[in-house]
Amino acid sequence: MNAPLRRAGVVILVLFGLLFANLNWVQGYKADDYRTSDYNRRVVVAQYERPRGTIEANGTGVATNKVTDDALKYLRVYPRKEVYAPILGYRPVGLAATGIENSENDFLSGESDKLFADRVKDMFTGNNTGGGNVLLTINSKAQETAWKELVNNERGVDKGAAIAIDPRTGAVQAMVTMPSFDPNPLVSHDEKVAGAAFNKLNKDPDQPLLNRSTAETLPPGSTFKVIVAASALQNGYQTGTEIEAGSEYRESGAVIHNAEDEVCPGRKIDLKDALTESCNTGFARLGVTLGRDKVIAAAKAFGFEDSQLTVGNLEGNGLPVAASDTGKIANPDGTVDKGALAQSSIGQRDVRMTPIQGALIAATVANGGKQMRPYLVQKLLTPDLRTIYTANPKTLRSPVDGQVADGLKEMMVSVVENGTGRKARVKGLEVGGKTGTAQNAEGADPHGWFIGFAYNDKGEAVSAVCVMLENVPGGHASAEAARIAGLIMKAAAGQGGD
């Protein structure tokens, strides 16, 4: 055999070898990936041959199905549209799901190992059993109240978020974001219609697809003073300890003023009154006195800088939560920037917080210093409604002890009874909280915050809430957030009265 033919033969053998290896790689290692790919149309059609499990809140289906006459037999339907969209997300044709539809996709679709016995049974009965059902922790009255009050707020604000948590368990009672979106067009079986709907929402500068409760971080303003107060109580201060205050405080180029001239104009004020009146100069000085390390440590203890938290199933994944952050509070050479520390101690400068973090701060105080891991999935039910999972509340962290929590509770109740949080009062409930007005972009209206908690007449902590309104016009930005928060807690507690 001459040399050219021999070389050609070797090349052909090598090519056959590579083809054989690729075939085995595809069949042996990639088969499942290709079989389950969202781009595999046969898989897509098969997914719609049986009904997807429902998602329920208080016994009402908030994600259900409708039988169609097209190739994809079942159409996903979201009856409450914008109200639950940030929680539920959506399950589009041929693409990845979002929200609870994503984190519980295997169970809802019937492909979860938890439903293996049901699939085996179908092999013998010939049935095409649907997916499993997900029961949410959401209190529908609290959710509807949060949505109604947020979108009809008295300041004309068009962006914000509200979240409520049961302090004793971590169960999320309400989660609302504004603006929201209608998921129904996004799950249309006409993929051109769904694509156009997504593109419109995705290009909207108001970001309706953003879950502001969990994924947006903004300066929290004076709500951060609860963290600084906690650090003070952990370091020898009492609620009656006097701290330096005054009408103005200058530190390393930073100038701190109070919101109004009548707020803590004197040289000293006790810690409880400082929180009640929201004394900026007092807390700025207090933060500098405590030092950067103690302020940052207190924030971390409450959950700042936690980038791993999800909210969904306590045994699995859920909605991702953005990390809240204090910033470095440092000069370029790494030394403490005392001016930045003064500003950070009143929730400004580089401090950023999610609304869910604000609710967790309030919930921790209400629960005696123990912070429970927040969750949205209460139960998982098989297609024949057998319970195979019930949430077992878990402690996430313990930022403060009971004595410090009691001191914070006393001060936060004073805020609502005597101070800046009066709008959050609810008849029949003991309410505590903290307001926050956060400056942001130059020339922009400030953000209005309120974090708080409520106890019923039995002394039980029944709800902890955070309401955030972006760019509130007209002054006293936090007052409307406090009003809305009170109504959400009232609904969550099932209390009557004004």
Active-site annotation, residues: 222
- In SS3 terms, 387-449 reads as EEEECCCCEEECCCCHHHHHHHHHHHHHHHHHCCCHHHCCCCCEEEEEEEEECCCCCCCCEEE
**Within 10 A of 253 (CB to CB), how many other CB atoms are there?**
10
Can you read off the two tokens belonging to residue 187?
């799950």
- In SS3 terms, the chain reads as CCHHHHHHHHHHHHHHHHHHHHHHHHHHCCHHHHHHCCCCHHHHHHHCCCCCCCEEECCEEEEEEEECCCCCCEEEECCCHHHCHHHHCCCCCCCCCCHHHHHCHHHHHCCCHHHHHHHHHHHHHCCCCCCCEEEECCCHHHHHHHHHHHHCCCCCCCCEEEEEECCCCCEEEEEEEECCCCCHHHHCCCHHHHHHHHHHHHHCCCCCCCCHHHHCCECCHHHHHHHHHHHHHHCCCCCCCEEECCCEEEECCEEEECCCCCCCCCCEEEHHHHHHHCCHHHHHHHHHHHCHHHHHHHHHHHCCCCCCCEEECCCCCEEECCCCECCCCECCCCCECHHHHHHHCCCCCCCEECHHHHHHHHHHHHCCCCEECCECEEEEECCCCCEEEECCCCEEECCCCHHHHHHHHHHHHHHHHHCCCHHHCCCCCEEEEEEEEECCCCCCCCEEEEEEEEECCCCCEEEEEEEEECCCCCCCHHHHHHHHHHHHHHHHHCCCCC
Can you read off the two tokens belonging to residue 155?
């300041």
Tell me the C-alpha distance between 296 and 158, whole Å. 32
Can you read off the two tokens belonging to residue 238?
């009492």
Q: Are 398 and 390 in contact (CB under 8 A)?
A: no
CA 319 to chain centre: 8
